[in-house]
Chains A and B, each alone.
Chain A
Amino acid sequence: MSPLETFIQQLINGLVIGMIYALIALGYTMVYGIIQLINFAHGEIFITGAFIGLAVFGALPGALGLGNLWALVLMFALAMAGCGLLGVLIERVAYRPLRKSPRLACLITAIGVSFILQNVLMLIWGPVDKSFPVFFKHSALTFGAFRVTFMQSFIVISSLVMMLVLHFFIRRTMLGKALRAASEDMTAARLMGINVERIISVCFLIGSALGGAGGLMYGMYYNTITFHDGYLAGIKAFTAAVLGGIGNVPGAMLGGVALGMMEGLGAGYLSSEWKNVFAFLILIILLLRWPSGILGKFRHE
């Protein structure tokens, strides 16, 4: 492989994991955009998506095996629905009663919810690694010297589709406009007859569903998951959201991809053991220079 080819190959690998970070980052940013809460439980919601997908796969009849499109659709549908509902439930039970309390109370609660979920996951699925079946076994597309596996293109394309749908929803539908309005001025939105509590639920629903889809992709891509995998991936996706400018939806997508690529390059050129260090180091440097992220905090959505 020529140096350029290696570089591009690492970028591709980074793009794939970056798309997953972006999906998770959207959940952080949508929730922050509307109630200025960093939902620390989001990492656990994300990995729950992987566990639900795995459970669904295990429950499927043999005819719907590996490589069957319907099996995949079902896994994604149920993982997204399950995580979406989990997010809404958490908001209703843990955050809504604290709406008028100091913000710190909510933040600490979020950390608590994160620990509870982690332990619930461990109780249900055990403390050991769970391995994923290998989807799209031998399929890869090769372009000259570099190759893109079928799994990688699946992740990139399906995340892109989800982000485009989200973008359309936020920009074009009335509910999306209400969401932008409420994140800008909650009281004014209430005066317009917008039920802001419902809008907050919608944010949790969509953000958590996207996180769940990301989690399932993560499981399929890395092949094994454990109950605490949500923690690190969650922190990274959160940094991606900050990198793009927290509260900003396009920023979360951009931040996720940027972080994934930095990490890919770091893993390729230094050592994959150091990829986390590399990612956070660049983040620190970037934030020292642009504290409000790439797209700035004044473009709340």
Chain B
Amino acid sequence: MRLKVKNLHISYGKIEVLKGISLEISQGKITALVGANGAGKSTALMAISGILPLKEGSMEFDGKTLERIRPDEITASGVVQVPEGRRVFRRLTVFENLQLGAFLRRNDHTVKEDIERVFTLFPILSKRKSQEAGTLSGGEQQMLAIARALMARPKILLLDEPSLGLAPLVVEKIFDVLLKIQSEGVGILLVEQNARWALEVASWAYVIETGRIVLEGPGSQLLMNDRVRSAYLGE
């Protein structure tokens, strides 16, 4: 199963932010999207999730075209986003956040089992389950944001800067879980400032500059690329 994004164009008013990008994300693989601030990475994710209207372009998931459909329909189809800045519901408890992740399956009796499952992935959330999400630390909020998305049983997970502002130890913990999720068959699109790590784990990676994909290839190969090394790896 794969998500194909073709020739995505997005504008804010008169400014074109995405000038026709095409991506392919496969189940069970990590795909990375690397680029500087303002290159259009988050815009691309919001467009894929159906939050921003497409000016041009198309999306295809599992052989079916997803065109001009609502965000809830995209989530229902199995493409789920963990947005930049975590955006947990601060005034709701950890448990309620997880319940809302499974909003589309709210009458399903398996929701409880899934909550137990994400608690084994992130044991700290189990301890915090009755706390308001706003009282969690940054790392815990990131864990909650990922756990909340997992509650929707994603086939493709879109992750926007999951390591942003977190201590290295916490980042390591979160990335371990991501690798586990991937090994269970979920496809991951990883948008990361931490380009080195992203390229190391990505089977395929794209480099985006001012709204265009300028380079793509296996992550290991891009790590060797001179242009990538000087622009994103600080070498």
Contact = CB atoms under 8 A, between A and B. Distances in A.
B100 interface: yes
A56 B42 CA distance: 55
Contacts of A299: 91
Given A190-B72, A191-B49, A192-B152, A185 B87 contact: yes
B9 interface: no
Given A184-B91, A190-B51, A191-B51, A178 B83 contact: no
Interface in B12-63: 46, 49-51
B87 A177 contact: no
A82 B211 CA distance: 50
A180 B100 CA distance: 10
A193 interface: yes
Contacts of B152: 192-193
Given A174-B99, A174-B103, A174-B106, A191 B81 contact: yes
* Size class of the contact patch on chain A: 10 to 19
B89 A188 contact: yes
Interface in A164-193: 174, 177-178, 180-181, 184-185, 187-193
B89 A194 contact: no
Contact of B75 (A174, A180, A187, A191): A191
Q: Which 3 A-B pairs have the closest CB atoms?
A: A193-B75, A188-B87, A193-B104
A68 interface: no
Interface string B75-89: 110001101000111
Contacts of A187: 46, 51, 83, 87
Nearest to A299: B91
A177 B71 contact: no
Given A174-B106, A177-B99, A178-B103, A191 B71 contact: yes
A223 interface: no
A174 B49 CA distance: 22
A153 interface: no
A178 B87 contact: no
Q: Interface SS of chain A: helix, strand, loop or mixed?
A: helix
A185 B99 CA distance: 16
* Size class of the contact patch on chain B: 20 to 34
B96 interface: yes
Contact of B80 (A178, A191, A194, A301): A191
Interface of B: 46, 49-51, 70-72, 75-76, 80-81, 83, 87-92, 96, 99-101, 103-104, 106, 148, 152
Contact of A178 (B50, B90, B100): B100
Given A192-B100, A193-B104, A177 B92 contact: yes
A181 B80 contact: no
A300 interface: yes
A271 interface: no
A276 interface: no
A189 to B, nearest CB: 8
Contacts of B92: 177, 180-181, 184
A131 interface: no
A194 B103 contact: yes
Contacts of B46: 187
A158 interface: no
Interface in A218-257: none
Contacts of B51: 187, 190-191
A168 to B, nearest CB: 15
A184 B89 contact: yes
Contacts of B148: 192
A299 B106 CA distance: 26
A29 to B, nearest CB: 15
A178 B49 CA distance: 18
B100 A181 contact: yes
A193 B74 CA distance: 8
B83 A194 contact: no
A195 interface: yes
Nearest to A187: B51
Contacts of A190: 49-51, 71-72
21 contacts: A174-B99, A174-B103, A177-B96, A177-B99, A180-B89, A181-B92, A184-B92, A187-B87, A188-B89, A189-B89, A190-B72, A191-B71, A191-B80, A191-B81, A192-B101, A193-B75, A193-B76, A194-B72, A194-B100, A195-B70, A300-B91
Nearest to B91: A184
Contacts of B80: 191
A189 B91 CA distance: 13
A190 B79 CA distance: 13
A180 B89 CA distance: 9
Nearest to B82: A191
A187 B92 CA distance: 16
